Structure 1
Amino acid sequence: MNIMITGATSGIGQALALAYAKAGHNVIACGRSQQKLDALAERQGNILTLCFDLTQFDSYPPLPNSMGKLDLLILNAGDCEYIDDAINFDAKLFERVININLISIGYALDAWLKSVQCGGRLVLISSSAQLLALPRAEAYGASKAALSYLAQTLSIDLAKDGIEVSCVHPGFVDTPLTSRNTFAMPMIVSSEQAAQKIIQGIAKGKRDISFPGVFIFLMKCLSWLPFSLWRRLAIRMN
């Protein structure tokens, strides 16, 4: 298969790139650090690299001529910053998170979706955070909730083009991003474990790939509570 992965220099994206390349697939790994991309390509053959800033619309490169149509487009790049003081809302922080987690997805779809062949698949990496309003997550949670909605609408509209859409909702994954968190992260999994769950879900044709199962079940149970009750619980957590 021909596979393109954004955010491939670390975390889930890197684990996916290495796993797919090791399995013999042709991988295009995208990121902002040429040094990290070069190191990734040295670890495993059949990885091509593209270095650019996903948040800059005019910087998107075309697919390499040698690659041909894509079987799999995985839009994984993202970031997380928290709103620590809601009354003094940080608009620039909000803009940064929305730009990388959501607006850049639109840029990527504009640039590459037409390169996904009929029978191929688009994969968007969202988050289990979209299930529940969480303290300090005004920017991150909103971006991921929007991304999950986008995946569902694309699944409807791309059906006529023969392109399937999967949306991934991980719990906590051990990545450089989550290493900045200062709170407990129950049932955290490694990037490699997350990559295997995603690869397995894609192979099974799942539209919703959520893991770990127990954590997702608990999040869904909390999301079914009346918001007034969940709000009281969340205020105590904050």
Structure 2
Amino acid sequence: MAIQNVLITGATSGIGLALFEKYTNQGENVIACGRNPGKMALLESRSYKTCLFDITEPAQIAAAAQDIKELDILILNAGDCRYVDDVKNFDGELFSNIINTNLSSLGALLQYFLPKVKKGGQVVFVSSSATILPFPRSEAYGASKAGMDYLANSLRLDLLEHDIDVTLVHPGFVSTPLTDKNDFAMPFMLTSEQAASRMLIGIEKRKKYLHFPKRLTLIMKLFSVLPSFLWQSLITKNDRSSKSHTREDQV
């Protein structure tokens, strides 16, 4: 099988780093992308190429793309998660920042990297199972990932004529620097390596949609088709309990 050129955004930590490790170990030409110079330096000797840029800076993305000739797989993984803790005093700046980081940035990434994806190639969007059900405090994060879902599903239709597949990924809770900050229960949590292994298999099979762990995502999908009162009280109760424990820990 021919060596593939695989570009991964957010390759310096979490799922992105785990994917970097797996593709590198398979002997693929991995183009690792990130914004932290120190972390990128650690990957440089093992990468086919590294691209240092902030996904919210289109000019930086454009400059990095100039040195990329052809891609087999484009993995759009970089993102951020922050919560709206005081909904009555809604933080519009936080909301805008998350939408810009997780959703608006995809416009520039696709503008400059999608033309590099060759016929028969693949684009992978790393979204979140949070789009299956609404969660408290997730107005910004959930909205950004829901937008990503629509973008991926729509793009899949338009790329059919170009013979480029689109894979949408809905991970559940994965142990990463982002989830380390969470102060609530995260059932069925996977390691980044476990998540990357599931993704690798699904990407190789060119699946349109991946969701895992299924013991979590299937429960969420079941809840999503039930009357809202059956699951809303449970979700909001757990959120209130998490906030209560946090306040107690701070006393």
TM-score band, normalised by the shorter chain?
A: over 0.9
Contact residue 75 and residue 123 of structure 1 kept, 8 A: yes
2:37 is the alignment partner of 1:34? yes
Contact residue 128 and residue 172 of structure 2 kept, 8 A: yes
Letter paired with 1:51: L
**Equivalent position to 1:16, from 16, 19, 28:** 19
2:182 is the alignment partner of 1:164? no
Q: Please report the RMSD computed on the Cα atoms of aligned residues, expressed in angstroms.
A: 1.3
Following the alignment from structure 1 to structure 2, what is the Cα–Cα distance between the partners of residues 203 and 235? 38
Equivalence for 1:205? 206
Equivalence for 2:5? 2
Contact residue 7 and residue 77 of structure 1 kept, 8 A: yes
User: Which consecutive unaligned segments of at least 5 residues does structure 1 have?
Assistant: none
**Partner SS state of residue 205, structure 1:** coil
After superposition, where does 1:30-69 map in structure 2 within 5 Å?
30-42=33-45, 45-60=46-61, 61-63=63-65, 65=67, 68-69=69-70
**Partner SS state of residue 183, structure 1:** coil
Equivalence for 1:73? 74
Shift of 1:17: 1.0
Following the alignment from structure 2 to structure 1, what is the Cα–Cα distance between the partners of residues 234 and 129? 18
Following the alignment from structure 2 to structure 1, what is the Cα–Cα distance between the partners of residues 58 and 47? 27
Shift of 1:138: 0.3
Shift of 1:34: 1.3
Q: How many percent of aligned residue pairs carry the same amino acid?
A: 49
2:195 is the alignment partner of 1:194? yes
Equivalence for 1:233? 234
Following the alignment from structure 2 to structure 1, what is the Cα–Cα distance between the partners of residues 121 and 156? 12
TM-score by length of 1: 0.95
Letter paired with 1:211: F
TM-score by length of 2: 0.90
Equivalence for 2:244? none
Contact residue 25 and residue 46 of structure 1 kept, 8 A: no
Shift of 1:228: 4.1
Letter paired with 1:230: W
Deviating beyond 3 angstroms after TM superposition, the runs of 4 or more aligned structure 1 residues are 62-65, 228-235
Aligned residues: 235
After superposition, where does 1:206-221 map in structure 2 within 5 Å?
206-221=207-222
After superposition, where does 1:106-185 map in structure 2 within 5 Å?
106-185=107-186
